[in-house]
Amino acid sequence: MENQFDLLNNTKGFGFDNFDPTLVQEESVILLTLVIDISPSVSSYATEMNKAFEGFLEEMQKSHVASKLMVKVIEFNENVKHVTGFTPITNMVPSNFHFRPTGNFTALFEAAKEGLTATVNYQELLEKTGINVKCLVFVMTDGEENTFTTKSSEIKEMLDTIMKSEKNIFNFETILLGVGNENYYEPAQKEMGFKHLATFNNSANEIRKMIGFISQSVSRSSANKPVNF
């Protein structure tokens, strides 16, 4: 009677970089997807962001939600790079993360799409193996889409489908964190159908506030409270 519900077959191919779902030790987890713009325009606040991000990881590793938090990091300019798969935050090395402004363009839509796809795929995999999941997808950018490899409507459609599922109504949050002039990214947030927009200027204080907002959202999510501003 081994594997009579055919579950383990379904966990095969969970992704080389993602944490093996069968080894998850918590009944409920939070998937935190961070999609981070590293195009050259972020140079003005990259140093502060790196510092704040390292501090964020260190802080979350000590928090009461650490055992439930799995993080995936994606960075993008004109290319999209999956820096990590979904990894328990306790297994991450904060000093390993260093976002360096490079490239020429901003593939915002493609990065958002890949972030959402990776999140939904891993969410489904975890749920199939008996884990309850909450998802927080943050896209951090200061600019507008200018590669047009992916249409915003594709993301909107994808999000509409995700949010139609009853389980996701209170468990799947999408937040665009915008830095600087909101005329660049606010239209993208609306076109993609991201639920929230939080705006910050590029001062050191505001960048710290932005990263602090992510940890607040994680804490609220773990307490079954909605993300708010």
In the complex with another protein, the residue whose CB is nearer, 128 or 156, is 128
In the block, tokens 């990263």 appear at: 211
Give 127-179 as a 3 state SS string.
HHCCCEEEEEEEEEECCCCCCCCCCHHHHHHHHHHHHHCHHHCCCEEEEEEEE
With beta carbons less than 8 A apart as the criterion, state whether 101 and 142 touch.
Answer: no
Nearest approach, Cβ of 125 to another protein (angstroms)? 13
Task: Indicate whether 3 belongs to the interface with another protein (CB under 8 A).
Answer: yes
In the complex with another protein, the residue whose CB is nearer, 4 or 183, is 4
Task: Indicate whether 9 belongs to the interface with another protein (CB under 8 A).
Answer: no
Q: State how far the alpha carbon of 48 is from the alpha carbons of 152, 184, 203, 227, in Å.
A: 29, 21, 8, 24
Q: 90-129 mask for another protein (x: CB under 8 A)?
A: -------------------------------------xxx
Nearest approach, Cβ of 27 to another protein (angstroms)? 5
Task: Indicate whether 22 belongs to the interface with another protein (CB under 8 A).
Answer: yes
In the complex with another protein, the residue whose CB is nearer, 90 or 96, is 90
Task: Indicate whether 131 belongs to the interface with another protein (CB under 8 A).
Answer: yes
Judged by CB under 8 A, the residue of 13, 130, 187, 226 near another protein is: 130
With beta carbons less than 8 A apart as the criterion, state whether 132 and 70 touch.
Answer: no
Q: Taking contact as CB under 8 A, which single stretch among the options 37-45, 61-69, 130-138, 187-195 is the one that binds another protein?
A: 130-138
Question: Per residue in 123-140, is it b (16+ CB within 10 Å) or e — as a string?
Answer: bebbeebebebbbbbbbb
In the complex with another protein, the residue whose CB is nearer, 61 or 129, is 129
Task: Indicate whether 5 belongs to the interface with another protein (CB under 8 A).
Answer: yes
DSSP codes of every residue in 191-207: HHT-SEEEEE-SSHHHH
Task: Indicate whether 27 belongs to the interface with another protein (CB under 8 A).
Answer: yes
Instruction: Compute φ and ψ for 145, nearest 5 degrees.
Output: -60, 130
Q: Name beta bridge partners: 199.
A: 178
Judged by CB under 8 A, the residue of 16, 23, 64, 169 near another protein is: 23
With beta carbons less than 8 A apart as the criterion, state whether 158 and 116 touch.
Answer: yes
Nearest approach, Cβ of 127 to another protein (angstroms)? 7
Positions touching another protein (CB under 8 A) are: 1-5, 7-8, 22-27, 127-132
